[in-house]
Structure 1
């Protein structure tokens, strides 16, 4: 419904000579409606009357009204009772209406837990890195960008892969550590399947990490951590770079191959992402890294991690040759045999 103010502005612009088609586009009012208001004199009456007054509609009674107190009392004591459970209870008390009415009322009055504010925290140099995958679609298929960002300096490393596997994660992290020249004390992941086997911390259970990845972490000297389910805001330092990667690097570019994609990504890291002035820290990530974080990282491992069962297969042993016995006979014996 279009209010009195809209009609008065239409009246003003019509008097100024603005076309009805233009006013229809500008105010979202069909031309037929404008012609109708003009023909009925509605715009002139509104101008004289100073606006249309509408009486409030009387509230309709519903079958649920006598039973709302039951719902309110039950929700005050047990806030997580389902709408279906409450529907059964008020139906036993005599309610004859539909379930939808109960469901809508429960949604309206159910006590809600206060939203826990997300607290921004700054990690000390060398303390934490955050890791995540972002998926991108190219003409030849999907590519998964593995991003690693250092929490203090915001220095970013990334590489595109065709899959999200344990081997890819290990390869990417070892490349990132080499680029950083060291290893942070801990790495934070967001329920990544290569890292987290199960997480029942919300229900009072335990976090179970992949044993292979724990061995990899021990080899490189960092502690793996995982965000609690539905608390991904604790990993915002890497969530925002994924969006930044999409907008600043990926959008509007063309790539010829996997190799070209990674070559352009490396140039973007060195020429844009790590040398821009960061909006939160006010410094360029590369400057903040060199000044405060490089020397705070832990040492690199002496060699790449070798996965269990990934040792090089030994060359097959040569098959033994059967011994051949050669009999020596006099020439006279052979002459006798051919007669």
Structure 2
């Protein structure tokens, strides 16, 4: 049988227009042999190369023992072989070990299942959208998932700070109708300021106060162990991949209204893992009852400084207050689409929330009486001129008495 290289040369010469006789004369094969290979009646011989021995052969039994011990690191094996007198290189060793190395393994983990009412998992995500100018911008989204029922709540915000976080948590608890025992989070900077020397988290004081007030136990999942809060990790991706693509919205209020309708829809569909509707399993959660509004009322207030021209900045919008409160400390509370400004326990201004950044909203009669008072909220100490008729007429005895006292 002819080797493949010779058969290829036969076809090459035939393609060049040479006759069978000429090809037979040039190659030294008979015309019948050439004719049959060109017709495809014969197949070329598969070349086999006789294997040669290598410097590694005497050490292969030793290598097999090490491989049985789970040692597949070729650098370690190379050092061990050198101690045994091996004089070969690393390449032949790697080629030999490659056929015995087991496939890369991913360590198995225990599925993180919870009892009803036990856990809630929370996280932030950043989503992309295109604004009216065609610029790609990011908007934060808060996601909370109840561990047992898989009920989900999402809310988009302007900021990822502690005040937005607490406000979203309160809204989520109101949506679910109760509070779980434990809240699981990663080391998000919103609530975890760092880890202490005892490896325990240093919680944001406002968040720690809030958790203690409502009876919530916060816990941090282990570093590089996302499977411990995989439900909310998948929830964030689900929002990015299933809710936001193709969505059209006017402002943040419109986006959150659509998000709330979306939560209602997905919480009423069959969950792929549990086989039940999260809405049905939510009844089995047995969450702790929501406390009275007074217990978390203060956590809905954000401290703000009132400017000299009588404005408070909130979510990129300047809201006006009566000028007499200029320069003072106040708080802002957002409730049901309204922004309230409070000073010393009194609501001094109330505005419908505006979602257009850098907008300015005046309050009614914001500067009434400002010119007369010359910009001061309280009367300044000053003397007063009176008419001659108002001067008190004193007797001379009074002055004589004063003279005697002085003496």
- TM-score in terms of structure 1 length: 0.61
The answer to whether the 8 A contact 1:183-1:222 is kept is: yes
Check if 1:136 corresponds to 2:140.
Answer: no
Partner of 2:291: 300
For residues 208 and 226 of structure 2, the distance between their equivalents in structure 1, rounded to whole angstroms, comes to 22
The answer to whether the 8 A contact 1:142-1:162 is kept is: no
Partner of 1:166: 162
* Equivalent residue for 2:379, pick from 299, 319, 327: 319
SS of residue matched to 1:296:
coil
* Equivalent residue for 2:208, pick from 204, 207, 214: 214
The answer to whether the 8 A contact 1:216-1:305 is kept is: no
Q: Indicate the RMSD between aligned Cα atoms, in angstroms.
A: 4.8
* Equivalent residue for 1:232, pick from 204, 226, 234: 226
CA distance change for structure 1 residues 319 and 151 in 2, over 3 Å: closer, same or farther?
same
- Which structure has more relative contact order (CA 8 Å, sep 6+)? It is 1
CA distance change for structure 1 residues 287 and 310 in 2, over 3 Å: closer, same or farther?
same
* Structure 2 residues not aligned, in runs of 5+: 1-35, 84-89, 132-136, 305-328, 331-342, 345-375, 391-407
Partner of 1:16: none
Q: Per residue, is there more strand in 1 or in 2?
A: 2
SS of residue matched to 2:293:
coil
The answer to whether the 8 A contact 1:130-1:151 is kept is: yes
Q: Per residue, is there more helix in 1 or in 2?
A: 1
SS of residue matched to 1:197:
strand
The answer to whether the 8 A contact 2:149-2:278 is kept is: yes
Q: In the TM superposition, what is the alpha-carbon distance from 1:49 to its structure 2 partner?
A: 4.3
Q: In the TM superposition, what is the alpha-carbon distance from 1:239 to its structure 2 partner?
A: 1.5
For residues 43 and 206 of structure 1, the distance between their equivalents in structure 2, rounded to whole angstroms, comes to 79
Larger radius of gyration between Structure 1 and Structure 2: 2
Q: In the TM superposition, what is the alpha-carbon distance from 1:281 to its structure 2 partner?
A: 1.2
Partner of 1:18: none
* Structure 1 residues not aligned, in runs of 5+: 1-40, 78-82, 94-99, 331-339
The answer to whether the 8 A contact 2:177-2:287 is kept is: no
Which piece of structure 1 moves more, 50-59 or 136-145? 50-59
Partner of 1:188: 184
Listed as ranges, the matches of 1:69-218 within 5 Å are: 116-140=107-131, 141-199=137-195, 205-212=198-205, 213-218=207-212
Partner of 1:23: none
For residues 129 and 263 of structure 2, the distance between their equivalents in structure 1, rounded to whole angstroms, comes to 20
Q: In the TM superposition, what is the alpha-carbon distance from 1:187 to its structure 2 partner?
A: 0.5
Describe the superposition over 1:232-272 as per-residue Cα deviations: whole angstroms up to 9, x where unpaired.
111111112222223322223333332222222111111x2
Q: In the TM superposition, what is the alpha-carbon distance from 1:145 to its structure 2 partner?
A: 1.3
Partner of 2:276: 283
The answer to whether the 8 A contact 1:194-1:210 is kept is: no
The answer to whether the 8 A contact 2:249-2:255 is kept is: yes
CA distance change for structure 1 residues 284 and 52 in 2, over 3 Å: closer, same or farther?
farther
Q: In the TM superposition, what is the alpha-carbon distance from 1:52 to its structure 2 partner?
A: 4.3
Partner of 1:7: none
Which piece of structure 1 moves more, 143-152 or 261-270? 261-270
The answer to whether the 8 A contact 1:146-1:161 is kept is: yes
Describe the superposition over 1:129-153 as per-residue Cα deviations: whole angstroms up to 9, x where unpaired.
0001121110131011111011111
The answer to whether the 8 A contact 2:193-2:204 is kept is: no
For residues 224 and 282 of structure 2, the distance between their equivalents in structure 1, rounded to whole angstroms, comes to 30
